Amino acid sequence: MASPYRRNDRREEPKQGRRLGPRPGAKQAPDPGGTWLWGWHAVLAALGNPARGAPLRLLATPDRARRLTDTLGADLKIEAADGASIDRVLGRAAVHQGVALRIGDLPPTSLDDLAAPAEGVLVMLDQVTDPQNIGAVFRSAAAFGARGVILQDRHAPPFTGVIAKAAAGALEAVPHARVVNLARALERLEAAGWRAVGLAADGPSPLAEVLDGGPTVLVLGAEDEGLRRLVSEHCEALAHIPMSGGFESLNVSVAAAVALYAAQQARAR
């Protein structure tokens, strides 16, 4: 029986040292793994990519759920959710457009598979870490028909939902390889018949004059530091994008788009 001087419906503060988490030895739900993706184009492309495996969870508002079943079939297992519920899962910063997907990570391609046969264009990113920029580079790579994108293991982020959203589905369409050492990767690519062209603000030649239409690796560095010395030394040519507006450099994703367009034009000549 409660004391008359103490209410028994009042929530007490936990005493110091009191365990609030699960008891030792208590079973916890296993982590399903995978990555949360969001945004209509990113989710639709991931669902259509068999390399991702089966969806682990798929949340959608009623309108988006109807569009998904109309596009992919009624067998798709969708959890009905409103926008606020999806916000609670992803966080308010995610512009999810009414759909969120937890699915297996995207497996990389080996450098040798990406390089054979030696034709077209590859993009190599040297210490580019901004997720929005990486996603935008993939989008441009898809738009201009690049063969793939090469990143370094230690200096490139995992493919999160932010990258997938910025790529707008291109992450599923453009193969990628992750390598330990970019300079050694360029040596292997050269041996396989590729020519590396590095973009640098102080490159001696305009990009259009350097591109010859052959198998080309466009090498781009981070916007603040550019290409590292060892990487630039492994490029056959260094080139700049001519600009007349008084700016010395472009955002790396914009530079990639310009360079990919120039490479496309060179192949068409």
Q: What is the pLDDT of residue 252?
A: 95
Element (H, E) at 95: none
Q: What is the pLDDT of residue 249?
A: 75
Q: What is the pLDDT of residue 5?
A: 35
Q: CATH fold of 111-268, please? A: Alpha/beta knot (3.40.1280)
Which is more confidently placed, 114 or 155? 114
Q: What is the pLDDT of residue 247?
A: 67
For residues 145 and 265, give the distance between their C-alpha atoms in angstroms, rounded to a whole number.
Answer: 12
Q: What is the pLDDT of residue 223?
A: 76
Helix 131-143 vs helix 252-268: angle between axes, to the nearest 10 degrees? 10
Residues 6+ apart with CB under 8 A from 12: none
* Amino acid at position 123, single letter: V
Question: Which of the 8 DSSP states describes residue 153?
Answer: S
Residue from 192, 133, 130 nearest 166 by CA? 133
Domain boundaries, the chain: 35-103, 111-268
In this prediction, residues 184-192 reach a mean pLDDT of: 98
Q: Tell me the pLDDT tens digit for each residue of 19-37.
A: 333 455 545 444 557 899 9
Q: What's the mean pLDDT when you consider all of the chain?
A: 88
Residues 6+ apart with CB under 8 A from 138: 149, 163, 166, 167, 170, 171, 174, 176
Q: Tell me the pLDDT tens digit for each residue of 199-213.
A: 998 899 999 999 999
Lowest mean pLDDT among 14-23, 62-71, 85-94: 14-23
Q: What is the pLDDT of residue 269?
A: 82
In this prediction, residues 59-63 reach a mean pLDDT of: 96
Lowest mean pLDDT among 26-35, 106-115, 119-128, 215-224: 26-35
Residues 169, 42 contacting (CB under 8 angstroms): yes
Q: What is the pLDDT of residue 154?
A: 85
Would the pLDDT of 17 be above 50?
Answer: no
- pTM attached to this predicted model: 0.85
User: Reduced to 3 DSSP states, what percent helix, strand and coil does the chain have, rounded to the nearest 5?
Assistant: 35, 20, 45
